[in-house]
Structure formats: C-alpha cells, structure tokens
A and B are shown apart, each in its own frame.
Chain A
Amino acid sequence: QVQLVQSGAEVKKPGASVKVSCKASGYTFTGYYMHWVRQAPGQGLEWMGRINPNSGGTNYAQKFQGRVTMTRDTSISTAYMELSRLRSDDTAVYYCARENPYSPGFDYWGQGTLVTVSS
C-alpha cells in the first residue's frame, strides 16, 4: 500500500533553515510528482511547489522562490523540502503529497510535519 512518512516535528529560530523529509513506499517513487503543501495554524492549505523525482526538476510557488529547495534521493525513495530564512509566519504543518497523473489530484498525503519558528 502507498505510504508517505514524514520526519518529525521541528523547532527553529528565526533566520534558520529546516529540512523536512518524506519517505515513499508502496509504489514507484520516480513515476509520480511529489508536491509540498503547508497549513498555518487555523488557516487553509497553501501550495509550495513540486519535484519530479525522476529528473529532479522543480517548480516553486512564486511566494517561496529563493527560500525553498526541493530535492530527492531516489536510492531511498525520499523527497526533501528545505525552507531557509525562517520567519514566525512560517510556523505551519508541512505536508508532502503525491500527484497522480492518471487521476490528476493529490491522492496520497504524508502525515504532516509541524515546524515551529520561535525565538
């Protein structure tokens, strides 16, 4: 069965960076785009970007350009999202989500990783 398992909660100081991992299993990792979506406390979903695990190609939301880097390690079927120059308003739950090209939508999601930015 398809599973996306994310790394644990993080607490960071303003200005620092955070790197969240998303380990995929139960399917061919390189066959499906991986997206990152975040949700601030009590707020809605926000699309951050995506990575093509096959090529490593990325697309980022304009809001995060220059601060976000998405990478992958195909040998361990894991995607990563690194966000730099953290601010307090980056406090959120960060999700990875698989895009199904055959039924376009985010069909599997990780459990979420809470990133808290506080001095």
Chain B
Amino acid sequence: QSALTQPASVSGSPGQSITISCTGTSSDVGSYNLVSWYQQHPGKAPKLMIYEGSKRPSGVSNRFSGSKSGNTASLTISGLQAEDEADYYCCSYAGSSTFYVFGTGTKVTVL
C-alpha cells in the first residue's frame, strides 16, 4: 500500500488561504469517509485537526476545514497565521486488509 500523495510544500502570506491536497485511490480515500488530518510542529507529536473528512474536534480553530472529491481529500487553512507553520499529514482508512495509510506530508510555510 503506497502512501497518499501530498504536495511537499505549500506557502502563503498571513491572512491568505491555502489548500493542501491528499490524493489516494478508490481503495482508500475514494471508498471511505474516514480521512483525518494532522498538524505536527517540529519535535512535537501530531495533533488531530480534521476527522471524517470535514469535522473539527473541539478546540480546533474554524479556520481549518476539510473536504473530499473522488479520490482526493483537501485541507484548507483560511486566515493563515504564523502559528499554522507546521507539517500536515492526511490519513485514510483503507479497508480491513491495509487498515490505515498516511499521506507523504506537506510543509506549510507562512511567508
């Protein structure tokens, strides 16, 4: 099972919006509404930002939103802030043989 494909890097200025894509296949992203997104700052454990494709856990800013179309999921960060600079990973359930697969990760830089 290959990792889901994400862009290596995305950048934006403060206040702008950026979108990170996460491309999988019909065996994972395309088949299940179980994509989650994680933010990871250097040297820290990942933090859940989005689950079930578009739902935010309590305490996560509404500047973060998720969506899915076909085999591609997306994470949008609006009103970009300096604290959003981090690595972001998507993750999808991939059935009862593979179970879970992570994306390749995207480094977000706030210019």
User: Which of A50, A59, A103 gathers most chain B CB within 10 Å?
Assistant: A103
Within the complex, which residue of B98, B99, B101, B105 is in contact with A50, where a contact is CB–CB below 8 Å? B99
Q: How far is the CB of B47 from chain A (nearest CB, A)?
A: 8
Given contacts A35-B100, A59-B99, contact A103 B46 (CB under 8 A): no
Asked if B104 and A105 make an inter-chain contact with CB atoms under 8 angstroms apart, the answer reads: no
> In the assembly, what is the distance between CA of A22 and CA of B52, in Å?
26
Asked if A109 and B55 make an inter-chain contact with CB atoms under 8 angstroms apart, the answer reads: no
Chain B interface size band reads 20 to 34
Chain A interface size band reads 20 to 34
User: Which of B47, B50, B99, B101 gathers most chain A CB within 10 Å?
Assistant: B99
> In the assembly, what is the distance between CA of A43 and CA of B40, in Å?
12
A27 contacts B by Cβ under 8 Å: no
Q: Across the interface, which residues of A come within 8 angstroms of B55, CB to CB?
A: 103
Q: Is the interface of B mostly helix, strand, loop or mixed?
A: strand
> In the assembly, what is the distance between CA of A112 and CA of B40, in Å?
12
A66 contacts B by Cβ under 8 Å: no
B64 contacts A by Cβ under 8 Å: no
Q: Across the interface, which residues of B come within 8 angstroms of A103, CB to CB?
A: 51-52, 55, 57
Q: How far is the CB of A112 from chain B (nearest CB, A)?
A: 6
Beyond known contacts A61-B100, A109-B46: 16 more, CB 8 A cutoff: A45-B89, A45-B105, A47-B99, A59-B99, A61-B98, A62-B97, A103-B57, A104-B34, A105-B51, A105-B57, A105-B91, A106-B38, A106-B46, A107-B51, A107-B57, A109-B47
* Residues of B near any A CB (own CB < 8 A): 1, 3, 34, 36, 38, 40, 45-48, 50-52, 55, 57, 89, 91, 93, 97-105
